[in-house]
Structure 1
Amino acid sequence: MRVAELTSAIKKLLESEVPLLWVRGEISNLVKAASGHWYFALKDDQAQVRCVMFRHKNQFLSAPVANGSQVEVLAVATLYEQRGDFQLTVEQMRPAGLGVLYERFAQLKLKLEAEGLFDPARKRPLPQYPKRIGIVTSPQAAALRDVLTTLRSRLPGVPVVLYPTAVQGTGSAEQIAAAVRTANQRAECDVLIVCRGGGSIEDLWAFNEEVVARAIAASDIPVVSGVGHETDFTIADFVADERAPTPTAAAQRVVPDRHALMRGLRDIAQHLRRAQRNRLQNAMQTADYLQRRLVHPAQQLQRQTQQLDQLHQRLQRAYAYRRQHQHWQWQSLAQRLQAASGDFVRLQDRQANLAQRLTRAMHNTQQRHASRLENIAQHLVYLDPKQVFARGYSMVQDANGRVVSDAATLAAGDELRVTFAKGWAKAEVKETGGK
C-alpha cells in the first residue's frame, strides 16, 4: 500500500467515524495568511491539535481572535494528506463559555415561561401621556443620552427620574433589580425604562439574570425593556410589559410625538370651527324664518279687517244671488199658477203663503247674517290696540323698536319710547325692579 493510499484511507475513516463536534481550548501559533485563511493550534494543559479555518468561514466572526484567546470551535476531524498531519477544519468559532451561557439562558427562559412570567395576559398597557418617566441605567451609558435626547425631541417638559445602576460586570444584576424595586417603593413614575446599549452576550448578561427578571415581573410600574440592538434578546425583554429593540425605541414607546399631537389638535380645532360656523348659520336662518313669521298687531288687525270686508262682500253677493234665485222661482211659480187656470184661487192663496214664507225667511236670514257681522265687528273693536290704549295702557319699546315686556331686560340709562292712545313720548330708565 502506498503512503497516499494510507493517508487517504485514514482521512476517510476520521471524517466518517468522528462527528462534527465542539472543541474548547486556547489559541496559539496563530497565522493569518495572505489568502485570508487562518492556521493555528488549539491546546489545553495536556494536548494540542492543529486547526485551519478558511476565509469564507472566519470572515463572519465579530469577536477579535488572537493568541491566548479561549475559544470553542465547531470542527470536523480530518487528515492533511500531504503531510500526514491530523487537524481540525473549523466551521464556527465563539468565545469560550458562550455555550454555557446559552444553556443557562435557555433553561431560565423555559423556567420563567412555565411560571407564566411571559404571558401576554399579564402585560399592562403603557400610559398614553406619562407625567414622570423613570430610567434604570448607568449614568455614564450612551444609552442614557440617546433616551434623554429622544424624550426631549418628542415631548419636552416631561420630568425624568434616573435610578443609577451598573449595567455590566459583577453584581450589576443585583443593582439593576434593586433600582427597579426602589422605583416601585418611591412610586414617583408612571412608566419605567430599563435600558443599556449593545454589546456581546457577556456584556448584556446582567439582563439575563433571574433576579432582574423577577424584579421586573413584580414591578407595579409598567416596564419597557430597551437592551442592546434589534437582534439582541434578553430575559428582561420577555418579562417586561413591552420590549423595544433599542434604548431610543424605548423612549419612543413611552411618550407620544408632540408633532403628531399638534397635528391632531389642529384637526380638532378646525373641526370645531367648522361645526361652530355651521351652527351659527343655522341659528341665523332660523332667526330670519321666525322674524318673517312675526307679525305686528296692527298688521294682523289690518289683515283681519280685510278678511272681514271680503266676508261681507261674499255675504252680500250670496244674499243677492239667493234673492234673485228666489225671484226666479217666484216668477216660475207665477207662470205655473197662471197656467193652472182651473184652480187659480187655490194657487193664488198658495202663492201668497209662499211669498210670506219667503219674505220671512229672507228677513230672518238677513237678520242672522247682520247679527253675525255685528258680532265680528265688535270682536275686532276689542282686538284693536287703540281701544286698549284708551283704557290707560301704553306700549313700551326700546331703542331698537322691540316691545319691552320684562323689566329684567332693561338697565339704568336705557332710552324708551312709550306709545299712548294719543301720541307718544321718550323716556329714560332710572331704576328697575320686580320679577
Structure 2
Amino acid sequence: MSTWPPSEDTGAPERPAETPRLARDTTPENPWPLSKLSYGLHGWIERAPAAWVEGQVIEVNHRARVSYVTLRDLHDEVSVSVTMFKAEMSRLERPLERGSRVIVNLKADLYVKTGRLSMIGRDIRPVGLGDLLERLERLRRALAEEGLFDPAHKKPLPVLPHRVGLITGRNSDAEKDVVRNATNRWPGVQFEIREVPVQGAGSARAVVQALAELDAMDAVDVIVIARGGGAFEDLLSFSDESVLRAVFAAHTPVVSAIGHENDQPLLDYVADLRASTPTDAGKRIVPDVHEERLRIAQARGALDRAVATMIEREHQGLETMRSRPSLAQPDSMILVREEDLDRWRSRAWSAVNAQTVRAQDTVAQMRARVRALSPQQTLERGYAVVQTPDGSVLTDARDASEGQDLTVRLAAGELGVNVTSRTNRQPGDH
C-alpha cells in the first residue's frame, strides 16, 4: 500500500487536511484513521481483476440466499472459502458434491466495516469428463513427443529383488494384494512400504515424495505404485505430470499397478512395467519359488544326464581304444616292423648282389677286350715285334739297312738277327 485513492472513489468521510495522503507519510504522531485504511484497501481490491481458478470442492454449506464453498488447490495445501449466490448455483445442472473439480470465476472483496476479505464466485463450472480426457490427451501427446514413453528408456526389473518399495494407500486392499501375492511366490521378499493419499488434493505430491525417498535407498531393487479400482476422477493423481516426470527420472525400476485391467492412467505409459492389477504386480515382481525349485530340479537332472552320458561315451571310447591291435597286442607292431626290416634287408642284399654280378661281368668283358687288343695276345698268335738297337719299333723294311742288327720280340723270348736282304712286298702280295 503506497497511495490512497480519492474519497469520491471510496465513499470515505472527509478528514482533516493535515491527515497524510500517503501511507508512507503516516507517523505515530499523525496516524491514519482505521476507516481510511479499510476504504483504501477496499478501493485497491475493487480494482483487482477477476480470475478463473480450478480447484476441488471439499466442503459445501447452503444458506437461504448464498452458499459457502471451500475450494482446495489440486496440488498444494491451499484452500479458500468462496461465497456463491443462489443465482449462480441455480445454473448448475447437478448440485455440487465434495470431491468435485470445478472452475470458478473469483473476485476478491473486502468488507470495510469488519476488514474481512472474501472471495465472491461470479460463475462456476464443473470440470466434466470430456474436459479431463482432453487435458490428459494433450499431456499424453506432449510427453510422448519428449520421449517419456519410449521403450528404449524402460529399465529391466531385477530377476530376484530382495527388497521391494511399495507406494500405496493406508491399509489398502492394494497393499494387501501386492504383499500377499509376492510373499506367496517368494517368502523371502521384503517390503519397504510408504502409505500416502492416493486420490484428492496433495496425493500427487505425496506420491512424488515417497518415490524420491524409496529411489534414494540402495536396498530397494524395484518400486511398485499400487492403487485399487475407482472412478476415473479418483485415478487422476496417477496422470499428474509431476508424478510422471518423477517416475521417468527415477533410477530404480518402477511398476505401475493402478486400478483394474481397463484402467490406464498415464503412469502406465511411463513406468518400466505395467501390471494390470495390484495382484498382477505381486506376481510379476518376484519369481515363483515352486517354479524355480522345479526348474532347479530339472536343470540338475539335465546336468546329471549330461555327465552320465559323457562318462558313458568316454568309457566306450576307452574300450574301443583298448580293443585296437596296437594296444591289445603291442608287440605285433614290432613284429610287423621286424618283417619289414628283413624284407628291406633282403631286397637290399639282392640289389647289391645283382649290381656286383653285373659289375663283375662288365669287368670280365672289359678284361677280355683288353686282352684281345694287347700286344702280347697278338704275339701269341704268331706275330713278332722288330726293334732297332735303340728300341724303336721297325714298321717299314725300308727303314732297315742290310747288315744291321735287329731284335725280334716273340711271344716268349727275343731273337737277335742281322739283316741280309729286304723287299718292298706288301701284305697280300704273292
TM range (shorter): 0.3 to 0.5
Task: Report the TM-score when normalising by structure 1.
Answer: 0.47
- Structure in which a larger fraction of residues adopt helix: 1
Task: Report the TM-score when normalising by structure 2.
Answer: 0.47
Q: Which has the larger radius of gyration?
A: 2
